Amino acid sequence: MFSSNSGNNFRPRYGKGKGFLPLPATFNRIQQKQNITYTIIGVILLWFFFNPFSLLGGLFRSHHPPQYPAGHPFTSNRVIEHSSPYIFPRIEDTQLLKELTVHKLIKEFKVRDANFPEIEKNLIRSLNTLDDPDPVLQKEKEDDENKRSELLLAKNSFKNQDKVVFRPKNNRNYPEVIIVTAVDFEKYSQLALTKIVQNRVDYAHEHSYGVYVRWYQEFLPALNSLSYLESKEKSKWVRLFCMRAAMFAFPHAKWFWYFDQDGLVMDLNVDIQQYMLNAESLNPIMQREQAIIPPDGAIKTYKNTKAESVKLIFTQSESKIETHSFIIKNDHVGKSIMEFWCDNLYLTYPNFPFGPDSALTHILQWHPFILSKASIVPPKTIASQHAGVVKQEKPEVYNYKDGDFVVQWADCVLGVECEKFLETYTKKSS
Amino acid sequence: MASNKGFALPFTHLNDLEKTDAMNAEYSKTFKPNKKSSWSASVSSIIQQFVRPLTEFALKYKKLSIVLLTLACLSLLTSIPFVPHWRTASPKVVIILAANEGGGVLKWKSPQEWSVERSSIANKKHYAKVHGYGLTIKDMTIKKRYSHEWRESWEKVDIMKQTMRQFPETEWFWWLDLHTYIMEPHISLEEHFLDILDNTTYRTLDTFNPLNLPTDIPYTDYQQEIDMIITQDCGGFNLGSFLMRRSSWSEMLLDIWWDPAMYEQMHMQWEHKEQDALETLYSTQAWIREKVGFLPLRKINAFPPGACSDKADDPQYFYHDHDFVINMAGCEWGRDCWGEMEHYKALSKKFQKRWWKFWA
């Protein structure tokens, strides 16, 4: 310890600050080692947050969600795109279609149910079921037929009307309201039908809305019975099927207004959206706590339904719900209500004397969800009635007066009779 | 205070008191220099640091602190209106377990039935706890309002509606019959299928269609989100284990599921009540079809060998090791529910046992 030559030269073994020996080469790496631990912790945290296992798992999962077929019209898998918002059948064929008769325009056949072979069932299918699977060949065939005869042209355009959908080049000026009408070539003459359709188109043009018109007879495959069109009440079912088809043809519209063929829009300047569809204009005219079966039914519309949530708007006569003129909102609930309303079990239910009117009454009485989305409005708004033979207690509530928005003559049965009303009101409106 | 004035107290001001306190503390410290501040003493001094201002505040503003305390109690311990409440986030999925099915006044419950019920409930409780799901056990005893021939076994719809009201924030509701057992409780519904719905479900019946329902109906738009997840067994739709999402669609379906005009016409054919009604709605109504997704049966509803006995050679129905849920469907009709339940309970325990838990 004490070397001979050192004398008093004591030194601390480790110097203050600068020692005479250099620091070991790894001395400064202590700091770096700490950095490494931090890095490792950081990497683990990142690993944890980004969870590469899920990414790896994703590699093994299919990236393509399965493809499902697109929606299609009622009687066919094909659509015919139409760029004008006025969709109506060839009214000029009225006479030809009458000559052809409905039996030539549909396909009827009889089947026996596998479960009940003793019962014979009549089925009605659209001629579209006979289409060639290849659309190009079918088109060629139809073009050829159309050139050959007027009758075949009428027949082909009758069957193809179901496929027509509105597909504009861009959705900028998409019509917000669509006026839907089903017309019967066996009730009205060609001249009368021209006036009826022209009136809808005029109104739609005034406010850049859309028009969707179909033949009554086109919906025989849905009704599945020829007798339905012969009965005044049962033929009302056509309205619902026509409405559903319109909702398919105009997928981006806001509202659909079914307005029956027995009526005219009298005041073309009234914009129905401002008039009654906007929440602020609908709110004051909604009839709250109104009995579904007037005058004193047990089930009433809700007191606090919000105008914004209304999906179905209709009117009442003195004794029941009417569907000459009703409005449906184009959203999923509106479509659901429409489809549920024309369910086959309602269509065939014998205890619905007024067809879809009774069905709607039933739906509103039993299903509070739909009742909460429905609104009854005064009849003068969209269903002013021609003052008919039936005496009403309060004619001022129901009957058309000059200056009303629309007029309807739902009471008439015979075509000739109805055309007289049409004549009178066409003169009045022009 | 007034009476205090009579005594000749040396310290009349609070400040003076504090001063002496401080002096005393200093004094004791100087007097005992070796005194080490023990751990407990330092903790208690820290606590005192926080408590003292609180007590001082409470003494100073007595009325205010009473009001605050009342509000806190009301907020935390009650659910009265007009007071903000602290709530834990509501569960994303609620499991609805139908217990006591068909029970009530008609018969005694046997010890086996009690045991099955206990096992099933404990299993769901454990599962819900592990994944933070809600669980509600619904009593399905025979009630008078369902005693009419037409209303039999229609409680399912009402219970679903009731549960949706009970958990207003929850998105998915998973209905489970009593005779089910979650075999792999570590799998969450999200990772199992909820987060990858498009890839796990099928929506058209082209590939598997035991009832031969129409595969294509007009206007159906499969771009819609799935709001109901069900399975198909050998006899058609199976509602022993299904899920429903809260939406206007499900609200409407629950409302129209039972319709008197339809049921009057069909109640002779609809043996399985709400199941047949749903099948009919599915086969005729596009709006129902476009929101329903199907899972393969074994995904949430695997069958034991006794069920679907006429399709016993088809492996797609029957439980394989490590399937998620087993549904002992129909075990009350001539099979031994308790035996099956005990078997699958033991099997699940075996599968869930970890190698390091040698003592269990």
- Percent of chain B with pLDDT strictly greater than 90: 40
pLDDT of residue B82: 74
β A80-82/A164-166 pair status:
parallel
What is the average pLDDT across A7-20? 59
Residue B57 forms contact with A (CB below 8 Å):
no
Angle between helices A356-366 and A237-249 (to 10 degrees): 80
Task: Identify all chain B residues contacting A348, using CB atoms and an 8 Å cutoff.
Answer: 265
Position B2 pLDDT exceeds 50: no
B147 part of a folded domain: yes
pLDDT of residue A6: 47
> Hey, are the CB atoms on B255 and A72 less than 8 Å from each other?
no
Please indicate, yes or no, whether residues B187 and B229 belong to a single structural domain of this protein: yes
Q: Domain containing A234 — which CATH number? A: 3.90.550.10
Residue B197 forms contact with A (CB below 8 Å):
no
A401 part of a folded domain: yes
Task: Identify all chain A residues contacting B220, using CB atoms and an 8 Å cutoff.
Answer: 69, 71
Please indicate, yes or no, whether residues B39 and B102 belong to a single structural domain of this protein: no
Position B4 pLDDT exceeds 50: no
Distance of CA A347 to the CA centre of its chain: 20
Domains in chain B: how many in total? 2
pLDDT of residue A340: 95
Q: How far is CA A188 from CA A90, A134, B63, B78, B312, in A?
A: 14, 37, 85, 70, 63
Position A45 pLDDT exceeds 90: no
Tokens of B157: 């719809």
Using pLDDT thresholds of 50, 70 and 90, give the confidence band for residue B263: confident
pLDDT of residue B41: 79
Residue whose structure tokens are 């019946």: B205
> Hey, are the CB atoms on A72 and B218 less than 8 Å from each other?
yes
CA dihedral A7, A9, A10, A11 (to 10 degrees): -150
> Hey, are the CB atoms on A71 and B220 less than 8 Å from each other?
yes
Strand arrangement, sheet containing A374-376: A86-87, A210-215, A177-183, A255-259, A321-329, A312-316, A374-376
What is the average pLDDT across B134-142? 85
pLDDT of residue A3: 46
CB pairs under 8 A between A and B: 91
Q: Which of A49-63, A286-300, A335-349, B52-66 has the lowest mean pLDDT?
A: A49-63
Please indicate, yes or no, whether residues B158 and B59 belong to a single structural domain of this protein: no
Tell me the C-alpha distance between A233 and B96, whole Å: 45
> Hey, are the CB atoms on A65 and B198 less than 8 Å from each other?
yes
Please indicate, yes or no, whether residues B235 and B113 belong to a single structural domain of this protein: yes
- Please choose, from the candidates A270, A291, A290, the residue with its C-alpha nearest in 3D space to the C-alpha of residue A281: A270
> Hey, are the CB atoms on A367 and B265 less than 8 Å from each other?
no
CA distance A84 to chain B (A): 21
> Hey, are the CB atoms on B199 and A370 less than 8 Å from each other?
no
- Contact yes or no for A190/A196 (Cβ under 8 A): no
Containing structural domain, residue A395: 81-102+165-429
> Hey, are the CB atoms on B198 and A345 less than 8 Å from each other?
no
CA distance A237 to chain B (A): 16
User: Tens digit of pLDDT for each residue in A357-378?
Assistant: 999 999 999 999 999 999 999 9
> Hey, are the CB atoms on A66 and B218 less than 8 Å from each other?
no
Please indicate, yes or no, whether residues B210 and B305 belong to a single structural domain of this protein: yes
B359 part of a folded domain: no
Q: How far is CA B185 from CA A13, A50, A167, A413, B111, in A?
A: 66, 25, 51, 68, 26
User: Tens digit of pLDDT for each residue in B339-356?
Assistant: 999 999 999 999 988 877
Choose among B216, B219, B251: nearest Cβ to A248.
B219
Please indicate, yes or no, whether residues B72 and B103 belong to a single structural domain of this protein: no
Q: What is the mean pLDDT of chain A?
A: 87
Task: Identify all chain B residues contacting A366, using CB atoms and an 8 Å cutoff.
Answer: 259-261
Tell me the C-alpha distance between A398 and B319, whole Å: 66
Give the three-state DSSP class for A315.
strand
Position B253 pLDDT exceeds 60: yes
Strands, E assignment, A222-370: 255-259, 263-265, 312-316, 321-329
Residues 6 or more apart whose Cβ sits within 8 Å of residue B244: B160, B172, B173, B175, B227, B228, B229, B250
Q: Domain containing B195 — which CATH number? A: 3.90.550.10
ipTM: 0.81
Tell me the C-alpha distance between A29 and B301, whole Å: 60
Position A60 pLDDT exceeds 70: no
Please indicate, yes or no, whether residues B253 and B127 belong to a single structural domain of this protein: yes
Tokens of B287: 């709006």
DSSP structural state of residue A189: -
Which of B201, B255, B264 to substitute to test the interface with A, most A CBs within 10 Å? B255
Please indicate, yes or no, whether residues B70 and B158 belong to a single structural domain of this protein: no
A254 part of a folded domain: yes
> Hey, are the CB atoms on B222 and A345 less than 8 Å from each other?
no
Using pLDDT thresholds of 50, 70 and 90, give the confidence band for residue B18: low
Interface of chain A against chain B, CB under 8 Å?
61-62, 65-66, 68-75, 244, 247-248, 332-333, 335-336, 339-340, 343-346, 348-349, 351-352, 359, 362-363, 366-370
Position A18 pLDDT exceeds 70: no
Please indicate, yes or no, whether residues B27 and B123 belong to a single structural domain of this protein: no
Domains in chain A: how many in total? 1
User: Tens digit of pLDDT for each residue in B69-79?
Assistant: 888 888 777 76
Angle between helices B62-77 and B39-60 (to 10 degrees): 110
pLDDT of residue A9: 65
Tokens of B233: 């067994």
Helix (H) or strand (E) holding B182: strand B180-182
Task: Identify all chain B residues contacting A332, using CB atoms and an 8 Å cutoff.
Answer: 224, 248-249, 287
Task: Identify all chain B residues contacting A339, using CB atoms and an 8 Å cutoff.
Answer: 219, 285-287
Which of A339, A349, A373 to substitute to test the interface with B, most B CBs within 10 Å? A339
Position B277 pLDDT exceeds 70: yes
Position A169 pLDDT exceeds 50: yes
Which of A59, A116, A299, A332 to substitute to test the interface with B, most B CBs within 10 Å? A332
pLDDT of residue B3: 44
B4 part of a folded domain: no
- Percent of chain A with pLDDT strictly greater than 70: 88
CA dihedral A402, A405, A410, A412 (to 10 degrees): 40
Containing structural domain, residue B32: 18-77
User: Who wins on pLDDT, B81 or B127?
Assistant: B127
User: How many other C-beta atoms lie within 10 A of the C-beta of residue B45?
Assistant: 10
Task: Rank A157-166, A389-398, A403-412 by mean pLDDT and report only the highest.
Answer: A157-166
Task: Identify all chain A residues contacting B286, using CB atoms and an 8 Å cutoff.
Answer: 71, 335, 339
Residue B285 forms contact with A (CB below 8 Å):
yes
A419 part of a folded domain: yes
Choose among B199, B251, B284: nearest Cβ to A61.
B199
CA distance A113 to chain B (A): 14
Which of B248, B267, B283 to substitute to test the interface with A, most A CBs within 10 Å? B248
Task: Identify all chain B residues contacting A359, using CB atoms and an 8 Å cutoff.
Answer: 261
The per-residue DSSP string of A228-254 comes to HHHSTTGGGHHHHHHHHHHHHH-TT-S
Using pLDDT thresholds of 50, 70 and 90, give the confidence band for residue B27: low
Please indicate, yes or no, whether residues B101 and B169 belong to a single structural domain of this protein: yes
Position A177 pLDDT exceeds 80: yes
What is the average pLDDT across B167-184? 93
- Contact yes or no for B281/B168 (Cβ under 8 A): no
CA distance A262 to chain B (A): 28
CA distance A223 to chain B (A): 14
User: Tens digit of pLDDT for each residue in B182-237?
Assistant: 999 999 999 999 988 888 999 999 888 988 899 999 999 998 999 999 999 988 89
Position B31 pLDDT exceeds 60: no
Residue B256 forms contact with A (CB below 8 Å):
yes
Using pLDDT thresholds of 50, 70 and 90, give the confidence band for residue B88: low
CA distance A369 to chain B (A): 6
Please indicate, yes or no, whether residues B68 and B112 belong to a single structural domain of this protein: no
Position B359 pLDDT exceeds 80: no
B201 part of a folded domain: yes
Please indicate, yes or no, whether residues B63 and B167 belong to a single structural domain of this protein: no
